[in-house]
Structure 1
Amino acid sequence: MWWFYRRGPSGFSGASTAEEVTASVDGRGLVAVITGASSGIGLETARVLALRGVHVVMAVRNVSSGLAAKEAILSKIPEAKVDVLELDLSSMASVRTFASKFDSLNLQLNILVNNAGVMTRNCSRSCDAYLAYLYKGVAWLAD
Protein backbone atom coordinates (compact mmCIF):
# COMPACT_ATOMS: atom_id res chain seq x y z
CA MET A 1 0.00 0.00 0.00
CA TRP A 2 2.88 2.36 -0.75
CA TRP A 3 0.56 4.50 -2.87
CA PHE A 4 -1.49 5.37 0.22
CA TYR A 5 1.46 7.33 1.61
CA ARG A 6 2.54 8.86 -1.69
CA ARG A 7 2.02 12.61 -1.61
CA GLY A 8 0.22 14.19 -4.54
CA PRO A 9 0.49 17.71 -6.00
CA SER A 10 -1.38 19.11 -3.00
CA GLY A 11 1.32 17.81 -0.67
CA PHE A 12 -1.12 15.45 1.02
CA SER A 13 -1.63 11.70 0.81
CA GLY A 14 -4.28 9.18 1.77
CA ALA A 15 -2.59 9.05 5.17
CA SER A 16 -2.93 12.81 5.77
CA THR A 17 -5.17 13.75 8.67
CA ALA A 18 -7.95 16.33 8.64
CA GLU A 19 -5.86 18.45 11.00
CA GLU A 20 -2.92 18.38 8.58
CA VAL A 21 -5.10 19.27 5.59
CA THR A 22 -6.75 22.22 7.38
CA ALA A 23 -3.66 23.52 9.21
CA SER A 24 -3.59 26.76 7.20
CA VAL A 25 -7.36 27.34 7.32
CA ASP A 26 -8.78 30.23 9.34
CA GLY A 27 -12.48 29.48 9.73
CA ARG A 28 -13.30 32.32 12.11
CA GLY A 29 -16.53 33.98 11.02
CA LEU A 30 -17.77 30.93 9.12
CA VAL A 31 -20.78 28.80 10.05
CA ALA A 32 -21.13 25.12 9.15
CA VAL A 33 -24.09 22.76 9.49
CA ILE A 34 -23.03 19.11 9.61
CA THR A 35 -25.67 16.39 9.37
CA GLY A 36 -24.94 13.15 11.18
CA ALA A 37 -22.42 14.96 13.37
CA SER A 38 -22.78 12.89 16.54
CA SER A 39 -20.38 10.13 15.47
CA GLY A 40 -17.93 8.93 12.86
CA ILE A 41 -16.91 11.16 9.98
CA GLY A 42 -19.49 13.79 10.95
CA LEU A 43 -18.07 14.11 14.45
CA GLU A 44 -14.50 14.32 13.17
CA THR A 45 -15.56 16.97 10.65
CA ALA A 46 -17.25 18.95 13.43
CA ARG A 47 -14.18 18.66 15.66
CA VAL A 48 -11.71 19.81 13.01
CA LEU A 49 -13.90 22.66 11.77
CA ALA A 50 -14.36 23.81 15.38
CA LEU A 51 -10.59 23.59 15.85
CA ARG A 52 -10.19 25.94 12.88
CA GLY A 53 -12.61 28.49 14.37
CA VAL A 54 -15.77 27.61 12.43
CA HIS A 55 -19.07 27.95 14.34
CA VAL A 56 -20.41 24.40 14.04
CA VAL A 57 -24.09 23.43 14.14
CA MET A 58 -24.38 19.69 14.70
CA ALA A 59 -27.59 18.43 13.04
CA VAL A 60 -28.39 15.11 14.72
CA ARG A 61 -31.29 12.65 15.09
CA ASN A 62 -30.39 11.78 18.67
CA VAL A 63 -29.96 14.99 20.68
CA SER A 64 -28.46 13.27 23.73
CA SER A 65 -25.75 11.71 21.53
CA GLY A 66 -25.24 15.08 19.90
CA LEU A 67 -24.83 16.80 23.26
CA ALA A 68 -22.30 14.16 24.34
CA ALA A 69 -20.38 14.74 21.10
CA LYS A 70 -20.49 18.50 21.68
CA GLU A 71 -19.06 18.04 25.18
CA ALA A 72 -16.28 15.85 23.76
CA ILE A 73 -15.37 18.64 21.34
CA LEU A 74 -15.52 21.34 24.03
CA SER A 75 -13.34 19.27 26.37
CA LYS A 76 -10.54 19.44 23.77
CA ILE A 77 -11.37 22.86 22.28
CA PRO A 78 -12.91 24.98 25.08
CA GLU A 79 -13.20 28.07 22.86
CA ALA A 80 -15.20 26.22 20.18
CA LYS A 81 -18.60 27.51 19.11
CA VAL A 82 -20.85 24.47 18.81
CA ASP A 83 -24.64 24.14 18.76
CA VAL A 84 -26.71 20.95 18.60
CA LEU A 85 -30.06 20.86 16.80
CA GLU A 86 -32.33 17.90 16.15
CA LEU A 87 -32.75 16.84 12.53
CA ASP A 88 -34.31 13.70 11.07
CA LEU A 89 -33.84 13.84 7.30
CA SER A 90 -36.60 11.28 6.73
CA SER A 91 -39.17 13.78 8.01
CA MET A 92 -40.09 16.97 6.16
CA ALA A 93 -41.57 18.30 9.43
CA SER A 94 -38.22 17.75 11.17
CA VAL A 95 -36.36 19.50 8.34
CA ARG A 96 -38.72 22.49 8.61
CA THR A 97 -38.34 22.61 12.40
CA PHE A 98 -34.56 22.43 12.06
CA ALA A 99 -34.56 25.26 9.50
CA SER A 100 -36.71 27.41 11.76
CA LYS A 101 -34.45 26.80 14.77
CA PHE A 102 -31.35 27.47 12.68
CA ASP A 103 -32.88 30.73 11.45
CA SER A 104 -33.55 31.75 15.05
CA LEU A 105 -29.79 31.52 15.76
CA ASN A 106 -29.29 34.47 13.36
CA LEU A 107 -26.32 32.82 11.71
CA GLN A 108 -25.40 32.94 8.03
CA LEU A 109 -24.77 29.47 6.63
CA ASN A 110 -21.43 29.20 4.81
CA ILE A 111 -20.84 25.43 4.78
CA LEU A 112 -23.33 22.55 4.57
CA VAL A 113 -21.86 19.08 5.08
CA ASN A 114 -24.48 16.49 4.11
CA ASN A 115 -22.91 13.61 5.99
CA ALA A 116 -25.91 11.79 7.49
CA GLY A 117 -26.57 8.32 6.16
CA VAL A 118 -28.48 5.19 6.92
CA MET A 119 -27.43 1.58 6.95
CA THR A 120 -29.51 -1.49 7.52
CA ARG A 121 -28.93 -5.21 7.62
CA ASN A 122 -32.51 -6.04 6.68
CA CYS A 123 -34.91 -4.41 4.29
CA SER A 124 -37.87 -4.00 6.58
CA ARG A 125 -38.49 -0.47 5.29
CA SER A 126 -39.59 0.31 1.75
CA CYS A 127 -37.35 1.71 -0.96
CA ASP A 128 -39.38 4.92 -0.82
CA ALA A 129 -38.50 5.35 2.85
CA TYR A 130 -34.79 4.99 2.10
CA LEU A 131 -35.03 7.39 -0.84
CA ALA A 132 -36.79 9.88 1.43
CA TYR A 133 -33.94 9.64 3.89
CA LEU A 134 -31.03 9.52 1.47
CA TYR A 135 -32.22 11.95 -1.18
CA LYS A 136 -35.35 13.90 -0.37
CA GLY A 137 -34.28 14.94 3.14
CA VAL A 138 -30.94 16.22 1.87
CA ALA A 139 -32.67 18.15 -0.93
CA TRP A 140 -35.21 19.61 1.52
CA LEU A 141 -32.41 20.72 3.84
CA ALA A 142 -30.36 22.29 1.05
CA ASP A 143 -33.43 24.15 -0.18
Structure 2
Amino acid sequence: MWLFKKNGPSGFSSSSTAEQVTFGIDASSLTAIVTGASSGIGAETARVLAVRGVNVIMAVRNMDSGKKMKEEIVKQAPSAKVDAMELDLSSLASVRKFASAFNSSGRRLNLLINNAGVMATPFTLSKDNIELQFATNHLGMLLDF
Protein backbone atom coordinates (compact mmCIF):
# COMPACT_ATOMS: atom_id res chain seq x y z
CA MET A 1 0.00 0.00 0.00
CA TRP A 2 2.80 2.44 0.84
CA LEU A 3 4.07 2.08 -2.70
CA PHE A 4 1.00 3.88 -4.01
CA LYS A 5 0.73 6.34 -1.09
CA LYS A 6 -2.61 4.85 -0.09
CA ASN A 7 -3.67 4.80 3.52
CA GLY A 8 -2.98 1.60 5.40
CA PRO A 9 -5.17 -0.13 7.99
CA SER A 10 -4.47 2.68 10.48
CA GLY A 11 -5.99 5.21 8.12
CA PHE A 12 -2.62 6.88 7.58
CA SER A 13 0.21 6.61 5.09
CA SER A 14 3.88 7.51 4.91
CA SER A 15 2.87 11.00 3.80
CA SER A 16 0.62 11.62 6.84
CA THR A 17 1.74 14.45 9.11
CA ALA A 18 1.95 14.42 12.89
CA GLU A 19 -0.89 16.94 12.99
CA GLN A 20 -3.09 14.65 10.90
CA VAL A 21 -2.30 11.64 13.07
CA THR A 22 -3.05 13.52 16.32
CA PHE A 23 -6.09 15.46 15.04
CA GLY A 24 -8.89 15.52 17.60
CA ILE A 25 -6.74 14.34 20.51
CA ASP A 26 -6.96 16.31 23.73
CA ALA A 27 -3.78 15.54 25.63
CA SER A 28 -4.03 18.42 28.07
CA SER A 29 -3.68 16.10 31.08
CA LEU A 30 -0.27 14.84 29.94
CA THR A 31 3.28 16.01 30.60
CA ALA A 32 6.08 15.10 28.19
CA ILE A 33 9.84 15.56 28.15
CA VAL A 34 11.31 15.76 24.66
CA THR A 35 15.10 15.63 24.47
CA GLY A 36 16.78 17.49 21.63
CA ALA A 37 13.70 19.67 21.17
CA SER A 38 15.45 22.79 19.90
CA SER A 39 15.62 21.63 16.26
CA GLY A 40 14.64 18.96 13.77
CA ILE A 41 12.38 16.06 14.71
CA GLY A 42 12.54 16.95 18.40
CA ALA A 43 11.28 20.48 17.74
CA GLU A 44 8.45 19.19 15.54
CA THR A 45 7.52 16.60 18.16
CA ALA A 46 7.44 19.27 20.89
CA ARG A 47 5.38 21.57 18.65
CA VAL A 48 2.71 19.03 17.78
CA LEU A 49 2.45 17.79 21.37
CA ALA A 50 2.05 21.39 22.57
CA VAL A 51 -0.64 22.06 19.94
CA ARG A 52 -2.54 19.03 21.30
CA GLY A 53 -2.38 20.43 24.84
CA VAL A 54 0.51 18.45 26.31
CA ASN A 55 2.60 20.24 28.93
CA VAL A 56 5.95 19.96 27.10
CA ILE A 57 9.36 20.20 28.71
CA MET A 58 11.94 20.79 26.01
CA ALA A 59 15.17 19.24 27.29
CA VAL A 60 17.87 21.10 25.35
CA ARG A 61 21.62 21.45 25.46
CA ASN A 62 21.60 24.99 24.05
CA MET A 63 19.21 27.16 26.05
CA ASP A 64 19.28 30.02 23.54
CA SER A 65 18.06 27.70 20.78
CA GLY A 66 15.55 26.16 23.15
CA LYS A 67 14.10 29.54 24.11
CA LYS A 68 13.80 30.53 20.44
CA MET A 69 11.97 27.31 19.61
CA LYS A 70 9.71 27.79 22.63
CA GLU A 71 8.83 31.28 21.36
CA GLU A 72 8.03 29.88 17.90
CA ILE A 73 5.74 27.24 19.39
CA VAL A 74 3.94 29.76 21.61
CA LYS A 75 3.58 32.12 18.65
CA GLN A 76 1.79 29.36 16.73
CA ALA A 77 -0.19 28.08 19.71
CA PRO A 78 -0.58 30.89 22.28
CA SER A 79 -2.13 28.58 24.88
CA ALA A 80 0.75 26.08 24.63
CA LYS A 81 2.34 24.97 27.89
CA VAL A 82 6.03 24.75 27.01
CA ASP A 83 9.16 25.06 29.11
CA ALA A 84 12.80 24.79 28.09
CA MET A 85 15.18 23.16 30.55
CA GLU A 86 18.89 22.62 30.11
CA LEU A 87 20.05 19.04 29.62
CA ASP A 88 23.42 17.94 28.24
CA LEU A 89 23.11 14.18 27.85
CA SER A 90 26.89 13.80 27.60
CA SER A 91 27.26 15.01 31.20
CA LEU A 92 26.01 12.84 34.02
CA ALA A 93 26.03 15.89 36.32
CA SER A 94 23.71 17.69 33.87
CA VAL A 95 21.43 14.65 33.70
CA ARG A 96 21.24 14.49 37.51
CA LYS A 97 20.59 18.25 37.74
CA PHE A 98 17.81 18.04 35.13
CA ALA A 99 16.15 15.03 36.79
CA SER A 100 16.34 16.69 40.20
CA ALA A 101 14.82 19.94 38.88
CA PHE A 102 12.02 18.06 37.14
CA ASN A 103 11.28 15.92 40.20
CA SER A 104 11.24 19.05 42.38
CA SER A 105 8.64 20.63 40.10
CA GLY A 106 6.03 18.14 41.30
CA ARG A 107 4.93 17.35 37.75
CA ARG A 108 4.01 13.82 36.78
CA LEU A 109 5.85 12.43 33.75
CA ASN A 110 3.63 10.70 31.18
CA LEU A 111 5.83 10.69 28.07
CA LEU A 112 9.60 10.58 27.73
CA ILE A 113 10.69 11.04 24.13
CA ASN A 114 14.41 10.33 23.83
CA ASN A 115 15.11 12.13 20.58
CA ALA A 116 18.53 13.69 21.24
CA GLY A 117 21.70 11.91 20.30
CA VAL A 118 24.95 12.03 18.42
CA MET A 119 26.31 9.79 15.70
CA ALA A 120 29.64 9.06 14.10
CA THR A 121 31.54 11.60 16.15
CA PRO A 122 35.32 11.47 16.14
CA PHE A 123 36.65 9.72 19.24
CA THR A 124 36.08 12.13 22.09
CA LEU A 125 35.64 11.68 25.81
CA SER A 126 32.76 13.26 27.69
CA LYS A 127 33.25 15.37 30.82
CA ASP A 128 32.96 12.08 32.72
CA ASN A 129 35.76 10.44 30.67
CA ILE A 130 33.35 8.16 28.81
CA GLU A 131 33.33 7.86 25.03
CA LEU A 132 31.05 10.69 23.89
CA GLN A 133 28.61 8.78 21.67
CA PHE A 134 28.07 6.05 24.28
CA ALA A 135 27.72 8.63 27.08
CA THR A 136 25.18 10.71 25.13
CA ASN A 137 23.10 8.04 23.43
CA HIS A 138 23.02 5.40 26.14
CA LEU A 139 24.05 6.59 29.60
CA GLY A 140 22.51 10.06 29.26
CA MET A 141 19.12 8.54 28.49
CA LEU A 142 19.01 6.84 31.88
CA LEU A 143 17.22 9.80 33.43
CA ASP A 144 16.46 9.12 37.07
CA PHE A 145 12.80 9.93 37.70
**Does the TM-score normalized on the shorter chain lie above 0.5?**
yes
Hey, what does 1:55 align to over in structure 2? 55
Partner of 1:133: 136
Q: Can you give the 5+ residue segments of structure 2 that lack an aligned partner in the other structure?
A: none
Find runs of 4+ consecutive structure 1 residues off by over 4 angstroms. none
2:65 maps to 1:65? yes
Kept in 2, the 8 Å contact 1:38–1:60? The answer is yes
Specify the code of the residue in structure 1 equivalent to 2:115.
N
Aligned mates of 2:123, 2:99 — CA distance in 1: 30
CA deviation map 1:49-100 (0-9, x unaligned): 0000000000000001000000000000000000110001111100110011
Overall identity of the aligned pairs, in %:
56
Deviation at 1:130, TM superposition (A): 1.2
Unaligned runs of 5+ in 1: none
Q: Which amino acid aligns with 2:131?
A: D
- State the AA in 1 paired with 2:106: N
Q: How many Å separate the matches in 2 of 1:45 and 1:25? A: 15
Amino acid paired to 1:129: L
Residue equivalent to 1:43: 43
* TM-score between both structures, scaled by the size of structure 1: 0.91
Shift of 1:4: 6.0
Write the mapping of 1:35-114 to structure 2, written as runs, cut at 5 A. 35-114=35-114
Measure, in 1, the Cα distance between the counterparts of 2:119 and 2:136: 11
Deviation readout 1:97-127 (Å, 9 max, x if unpaired): 001111222210000000001145x514258
Cα 1:96–1:142 shift into 2, 3 Å: closer
Distance 1:64 1:129 in 2: 23
Classify 1:4/1:39 alpha carbon distance in 2 versus 1 (closer, same or farther; 3 Å).
farther
* 1:138 maps to amino acid: M
CA pair 4-103 structure 1, distance change in 2 beyond 3 A: farther
Q: Which one has the bigger helix percentage?
A: 1
2:57–2:84 CA contact under 8 A, matched in 1: yes
